Amino acid sequence: MIGGVSFNEVFLDDVVVPDSARIGGVGDGWRVALTTLANERNSMGDSAFGGAGILSTDRLVELTRHAGASDDPVVRRAFGELMMQLRVARYTQQVMGARAKAGDSPGPEVALNKIALSGNMARLGEYVAEVLGPRVAADTGAWGTYAWTSVILGAPGYRLGGGTDEVLKNMIAQRVLGLPRAQ
C-alpha cells in the first residue's frame, strides 16, 4: 500500500530446496509458522515504543513545535493524550517483562502489546494529521511535513501484520479469559 518492498509476495515455481533447509519436522510447518508469527508480534511490540523511532517523545515535541502548534491548548492536550498511550504501552511492556523474569510466565496476554502498538500507530497518524493540517495532503517540499504521511499510510499494516487484531482477540478470549470457542 505504501510502495515499500519489505511487504511483498513471493512466487515459488519448482524451486529445489535441500532437506537440510527444512525447519522443524515434516508436517510441523504450522507450528513453526505460528512461532515465527508470535516472535514477529513480540518484536513489533518490543521495538516500537520510545527510543529514537517515530514514537519518541523528542521527535513528537519537535514535530509539534515545527508545525507552530505547541502553544495551542487543544493540541497540547491531544499531545498529552498520545503521550499517555505511548508511555502506558512502554510501561506495560516493562512490567510484563519483569513479571516474566520473576517467574510469572508471560502468557498469551503479551499479544495485547501488539494490539496496543497498532492502536498507537493509528493514533499517531491522527495526531500528525491534526497538527500538520493541509500539509499532509500535498508535498510542498517543506522539511518535516509531508514525510509524516508514511505514518498515516503505514498504520493499517500494523493492524494486520503478526496476526490481525481480530484473530489475536479470538486467541486471547479463549486462551487468557477461557471463553468458549465461537461456533
Residue 79 within binding range of another protein, rule CB under 8 A: yes
Q: Closer to another protein at the Cβ: 60 or 136? A: 60
Q: Which stretch binds another protein (CB under 8 A): 20-28, 129-137, 142-150, 174-182?
A: 174-182
Identify the residue among 2, 32, 53, 81 touching another protein (CB under 8 A). Answer: 81
Please give the angle made by the CA atoms of 40, 111 and 21, to the nearest 5 degrees: 30
Residue 92 within binding range of another protein, rule CB under 8 A: yes
- Distance, in Å, from the CA atom of 161 to the CA atom of 44, rounded to the nearest integer, reads 9
Residue 25 within binding range of another protein, rule CB under 8 A: no
* Cβ–Cβ under 8 Å, residues 113 and 92: yes
* Cβ–Cβ under 8 Å, residues 50 and 56: yes
* Alpha-carbon torsion angle 95, 43, 50, 169, nearest 10: -60
Identify the residue among 48, 55, 67, 112 touching another protein (CB under 8 A). Answer: 112
Residue 179 within binding range of another protein, rule CB under 8 A: yes
Residue 98 within binding range of another protein, rule CB under 8 A: yes
Applying CB under 8 A, what is the total number of residues that bind another protein? 46
What does DSSP assign to residue 26?
T
Write down the least CB distance from residue 9 to another protein, Å.
Answer: 29
Q: Name residues whose C-beta falls within 8 Å of residue 37's C-beta, 6 or more positions apart in sequence.
A: 162, 163
Write down the least CB distance from residue 73 to another protein, Å.
Answer: 7
Q: Which of helix, strand or coil describes residue 179?
A: coil
* Alpha-carbon torsion angle 47, 31, 167, 118, nearest 10: 10
Residue 44 within binding range of another protein, rule CB under 8 A: no
Write down the least CB distance from residue 3 to another protein, Å.
Answer: 32
* Cβ–Cβ under 8 Å, residues 66 and 144: yes
Residue 167 within binding range of another protein, rule CB under 8 A: no
Q: Which stretch binds another protein (CB under 8 A): 24-32, 108-116, 124-132, 137-145?
A: 108-116
